[in-house]
């Protein structure tokens, strides 16, 4: 049976389509399941650098929160892009997420962790009254309801609806929580050991908490512009004069707990001197001079 030109054209188009489909399939990046989380000692809280080097968990009081009603690019260091939709998260929300990650660190990703509201509040150094239980409910709702998209070096983007999913028993006040895998994958792009005891001493000082995390994520702190800290911390201060006052108090608090040895303001920058942790000291010793 003879075939006309139309049939040949269709065959050619089919072959071309199949070739293109095979090429596209070959280029697709296979994402392997996350096998495990890093491990760290009881006194440490491991935290992805993307959470510490951006305004994702802002250094603001709860009453200063704002709502991002559309997908918004937040301030971050070079190489990281953070887009966010939802009620602004702050350092107290980071405390909750860090503690849940801490409880989950010795089990496989994808499995749930169970804890009581009382145990969580005690671990965070909070009271266990009704208002604190309500605070925890609100924080869990914020962490579960936000949309977060983080891109590294313009190549890999991690997007997820929420940092976690949870069930709460209203009679026993117990939570069953599953951490979302995309947010746990942030550990693959670098993470920091946070000294938990130091962090607890900074409660109710959101800018000091943000600085503690940011500075902990750098082995050798470098001079920082005041405007840069204002931007990266997500501060609500309306003027640089107001922010510099807040910054000075926050840095004083870090000196008080031994995180910093000293600091000084030079023109529009702040110079910081600190004693690196043992792991940071080893890193510095291996760096080429």
List, run by run, the mean pLDDT of 10-residue segments along the chain (289 residues): 55 66 56 78 96 98 95 96 97 98 87 96 96 98 95 82 95 96 92 96 97 93 93 96 97 96 94 73 61
Q: Please, are residues 179 and 100 in contact by the beta-carbon 8 Å criterion?
A: yes
How much of the chain is helix, strand and coil, in % rounded to 5? Answer: 45, 25, 30
Q: What pLDDT does 98 receive?
A: 98
- What does the alpha-carbon distance between residue 18 and residue 105 come to, in Å, rounded to a whole number? 44
CB-based burial label for 241 (10 Å; 0-12, 13-18, 19+): exposed
| Residue 29 located in a structural domain | no
Grouping H, G, I as helix, E, B as strand and the rest as coil, residue 218 is coil
| Residue 5 located in a structural domain | no
Q: Please, are residues 64 and 92 in contact by the beta-carbon 8 Å criterion?
A: no
| Residue 133 located in a structural domain | yes
| Residue 190 located in a structural domain | yes
Q: What pLDDT does 12 receive?
A: 67
| Residue 79 located in a structural domain | yes
| Residue 20 located in a structural domain | no
- Spatial neighbors of 193 by CB under 8 A, at least 6 apart, are 40, 44, 45, 46, 216, 277, 279
| Residue 160 located in a structural domain | yes
| Residue 21 located in a structural domain | no
Grouping H, G, I as helix, E, B as strand and the rest as coil, residue 69 is strand
Q: Domain residues for 245?
A: 44-286
| Predicted model pTM | 0.84
What is the number of domains present in the chain?
A: 1
CA angle 65, 208, 64 (to 5 degrees): 15
- What does the alpha-carbon distance between residue 130 and residue 44 come to, in Å, rounded to a whole number? 29
Q: 3-class secondary structure for the chain?
A: CCCCHHHHHHHHHHHHHHHHHHHHHHHCCCCCCCCCCCCCCCCEEEEEHHHHCECCEECCCHHHCCEEEEEEEECECCCEEEEEEEECEEHHHHHHHHHHHHHHCCCCCCCCEEEEHHHHHHHCCCCCCHHHHHHHHHHHHHHHHCEEEEEECCCEEEEEECCEEEEEECCCCEEEEEECHHHHHHHHHCEEEEEHHHHHCCCCCHHHHHHHHHHHCCCCCCCEEHHHHHHHCCCCCCCHHHHHHHHHHHHHHHHHCCCEEEEEEECCEEEEEECCCHHHHHHHHHCCC
Percent with pLDDT over 90 in the chain:
73
């Amino acid at each position: 049976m003879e075939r006309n030109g139309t049939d040949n054209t269709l065959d050619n188009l089919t072959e071309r389509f199949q070739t293109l489909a095979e090429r596209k399939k070959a280029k697709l990046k296979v994402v392997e399941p996350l096998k495990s989380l890093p491990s760290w000692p009881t006194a440490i809280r491991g935290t992805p650098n993307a959470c510490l080097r951006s305004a994702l968990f802002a250094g603001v009081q709860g009453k200063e929160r704002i709502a991002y009603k559309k997908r918004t690019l937040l301030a971050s260091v070079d190489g990281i892009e953070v887009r966010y939709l939802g009620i602004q998260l702050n350092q107290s929300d980071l405390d909750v997420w860090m503690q849940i990650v801490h409880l989950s660190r010795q089990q496989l990703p994808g499995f749930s962790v169970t804890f009581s509201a009382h145990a969580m509040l005690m671990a965070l150094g909070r009271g266990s009254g009704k208002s604190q239980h309500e605070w925890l409910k609100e924080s869990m709702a914020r962490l579960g309801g936000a949309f977060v998209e983080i891109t590294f070096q313009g190549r890999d983007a991690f997007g997820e609806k929420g940092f976690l999913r949870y069930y709460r028993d209203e009679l026993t006040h117990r939570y069953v929580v599953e951490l979302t895998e995309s947010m746990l994958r942030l550990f693959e792009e670098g993470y920091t050991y946070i000294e938990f005891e130091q962090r607890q001493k900074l409660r109710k000082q959101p800018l000091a908490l943000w600085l503690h995390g940011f500075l902990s994520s750098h082995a050798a702190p470098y001079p920082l512009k005041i405007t840069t800290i204002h931007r990266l911390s997500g501060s609500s201060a309306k003027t640089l004069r107001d922010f510099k006052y807040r910054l000075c108090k926050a840095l004083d608090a870090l000196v008080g707990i031994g995180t910093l040895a000293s600091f000084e303001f030079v023109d529009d920058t702040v110079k910081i001197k600190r004693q690196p942790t043992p792991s940071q000291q080893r890193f510095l010793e291996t760096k080429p001079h």
